[in-house]
Structure 1
Amino acid sequence: MIKVGILLTQHYKLLSVAAILDVFGTANKFHQEMGKEPPYEINLLNNDDQTDGFFDAYKAESIAKNEKYNLIVIPAFTTENIQHSIKINAAFIPWLCKQYQADAEIATVCTGAFLLGATGLLDGKVATTHVDACSAFSKAFPAVKLKGDKTVTQDGRLYTSGGATSSFHLLLHLLQNHCGKEIAIKTAKIFAIDMDRQNQSYFSSFQPSRHHNDNLVASAQEKIESNYQDVSTIEEMIKDIPSSRRNIVRRFKQVIGITPIEYLQQTRIEAAKKLLEETAQQMTEVIYNSGYNDPKAFRKVFRKAVGMTPSEYRDKFQAR
């Protein structure tokens, strides 16, 4: 039997814990119906021996008891202030390292990857997280090989998943590893999950940082966003900003995390997505109105950034 420990961190997301319990509970039920021993022993773990009453069927135990677990699952955080969440959950960090050294598997849901990242165990390894948290994750943990477009990653005994419903794909992946494909498929049918979704790029939205005090960078951001349909070079974008090209590019990347040209490209792709979602414009109009002149180049950039063609994106997300 696999001894599972689900962390009840400070600021954990209720939905992700409920999903973990429901999926593992369903796998246990399937095995019992087949006259087999349940594969999972499910435990809730916290740092203070207290429970919040949401999961009365499970007793929450403290990590201070130093029990050994085969699998530990870290749920998503509810807050956008992830660094604060890591700080107030710091007691879990050495405990996670100790469990991993004792051969435990560790899996993270969505932004729960930040807590695992803080342990250092992901350094040099592949990981993913919520698609809109990728920039912050890369900045916080540059040694991790972040694959922000991936729904689920596995690197040895470490597993991570993307945002929201990607947690179900992570759980199915774990079920397939532990219980076999038959149980994974039966569970997927119960929860109506498409097992073959491996990409989460098309769920992303470009949300550049505005919480900084660099007026030069803020000016460059404003110029790009106001003129993305017309400009094509850095020189055009910054011609009225009193600073050298080299200095602007350096400061821009330091503050925002990407170059001005990458910022321009992401601004254009986000504009194209909105046009595809909200208008009935012909594709040639969408291309032109988002700042592109070459349809072939637009489709190539769009597919690379979003993970599907513009037509596929419109079919999937356009309001009817």
Structure 2
Amino acid sequence: MIKIGVLIPEDYKLLSVAAILEVFEIANKFQIIKGLDKPFDITLLTLNNNVDHFFKAYNTNNIDNEKCYNLVLIPSFTTEDINKTIKLNSAYIPWLIKQNNAEAEIATFCTGAFLLAATGLLDGKVATTHVDACPAFAIAFPSVQLKPDKTVTQDGRLFTSGGATSTFHLLLYLLQIHCGKELAIKTAKIFAIDMDRHNQSYFSSFQPSKLHNDEIVASAQEKIENNYQDVATIEEMIRDIPSSRRNKLDDLNK
């Protein structure tokens, strides 16, 4: 049986944890229906043994426990200050390093990659995270080979995934590794997940660069951002900018 440890960190995203638990519970049920032993033993890992009432049915361990796991899962965070959140969860860092040294696989989902990267275990390795969090991740962890377009990455025993439904792609990938493709496909059908999506770049939010010295372009960007909801055409937005229509649009499209 594969021993899974699911971190329940500070500022965790409930949807992320729920998706992780649901996928492995479904996989267990499929195998039990076939008369087989369930493949996964799930434990929730906390700093203080306290978990929300949603998870009372699960075994819970404090990370002070010396138990080793085959697979450690780090969910996404819900936070507007990822650096503060990582500090709140800093006690997990030495524990994760110990689990890695004991040859555990470690998988992160969405912004959970920030906590794994804070351990240094991702230095020099390939990783991804939510596409909109990639700029902050790249600044915080320049030694990581960040792949913003990837849905899932694997580098040795370390796995990461992009945002939102990319969680399911990594979960299905882990199912396939540990239980075979048939079970992964059956589980994918339950959640209506296309297993063949490998790119997340088209889910990114458009963020035009302002790292330039062109005052006209900067003025146009500001007018568009502040007034887009009140006007119907580009011409209305930029009519006060001292440039021809063609030059204005050419500049904005650079």
TM-score, scaled to structure 1:
0.68
* Corresponding position: 1:226 with 2:253: no
Report the equivalent of 1:123: 123
Identify if the C-alpha distance between structure 1 residues 35 and 107 changes in structure 2 by more than 3 Å, giving closer, same or farther.
same
Residue type of the alignment partner of 1:64: D
- Residues 141-172 of structure 1, C-alpha deviation per residue, up to 9 Å, x if partnerless? 00000000000000010000000110000000
2:160 equivalent to 1:167: no
Partner Cα separation in structure 2 for residue 290 and residue 112 of structure 1: 41
Tell me by how many angstroms 1:131 deviates: 0.2
Alignment CA distance shift 1:206-1:61 (3 Å): same
How much has 1:59 moved relative to structure 2?
3.1
Give the structure 1 partner of residue 99 of structure 2. 99
Measured in 2, the distance between the counterparts of 1:105 and 1:56 equals 25
Q: 1:90 to 1:179 in 2, by over 3 A?
A: same
Q: 1:174 to 1:61 in 2, by over 3 A?
A: same
2-structure distance, mates of 1:114, 1:154: 16
The answer for the alignment partner of 1:270 in structure 2 is none
SS for the counterpart of 1:6 is: strand
Which residue is equivalent to 1:17? 17
User: Corresponding residue for 2:237?
Assistant: none
Checking the alignment, whether the CA contact within 8 Å between 1:51 and 1:59 is kept in structure 2 is no
What's the offset of the Cα at 1:206?
Answer: 3.0
Tell me if the contact between 2:77 and 2:111 (Cα under 8 Å) persists in the aligned partners: yes
Letter in 2 for 1:226: S
Gaps of 5+ in 2: 234-245
Query: Structure 1 residues 290 and 75 mapped into 2: Cα distance closer, same or farther (>3 Å)?
Result: farther
Q: 1:189 to 1:120 in 2, by over 3 A?
A: same
Aligned equivalents of 2:72 and 2:161: distance in 1? 14
| Structure 2 contact 42–59 (Cα < 8 Å) conserved | no
For each residue in 1:217-258, what CA deviation from the matched residue of structure 2 results, as whole angstroms up to 9, or x when unmatched? 6x8487534347xxxxxxxxxxxxxxxxxxxxxxxxxxxxxx
Residues 53, 221 of structure 1: CA spacing in aligned structure 2 closer, same or farther, 3 A cutoff?
farther
Cα offsets for 1:76-103 (capped at 9, x unmatched): 0000211001001000000000000000
Q: Give 1:161's aligned amino acid.
A: S
Q: How does 1:298-313 map to 2 (within 5 A)?
A: none
AA aligned to 1:28 is N
What amino acid does structure 1 have at the position aligned with 2:33?
Answer: E
- Structure 1 residue aligned with 2:45: 45
Listed one character per residue, the Cα deviations across residues 154-206 of structure 1 (whole Å, up to 9, x for unaligned) are: 00100000001100000000000000000000000000000000000000013
Higher helix share: 1
Moved more, 52-61 or 164-173: 52-61
**Unpaired runs of at least 5, structure 1:** 211-216, 229-266, 268-273, 280-287, 302-320
Q: Distance in 2 between matches of 1:289 and 1:191?
A: 49
Higher relative contact order (CA 8 A, sep 6+): 2
Q: Share of identical aligned residues, percent?
A: 64
Secondary structure of the residue aligned to 1:64 is: coil
Q: CA deviation at 1:60?
A: 2.3
**Equivalent position amino acid for 1:94 in 2:** P
Secondary structure in 2 aligned to 1:54? helix
- 5 Å matches for 1:1-320? 1-207=1-207, 220=213, 223-227=216-220, 291=249
SS in 2 for 1:42: strand
**Offset at residue 54 of structure 1 (A):** 1.8
Counterpart Cα distance in 1 of 2:83 and 2:127: 18
Name the Cα RMSD after superposition: 2.8
| Residue in structure 1 matched with residue 236 of structure 2 by the alignment | none
Q: Any conservation in 1 of the 2:129–2:161 contact (CA below 8 Å)?
A: yes
The structure-2 alpha-carbon separation of the partners of 1:34 and 1:143, relative to structure 1 and needing over 3 Å to count, comes to: same
Q: 1:34 to 1:89 in 2, by over 3 A?
A: same
Cα distance in 1 for partners of 2:14, 2:248 equals: 39
Question: CA separation in 2, counterparts of 1:176 and 1:4?
Answer: 15
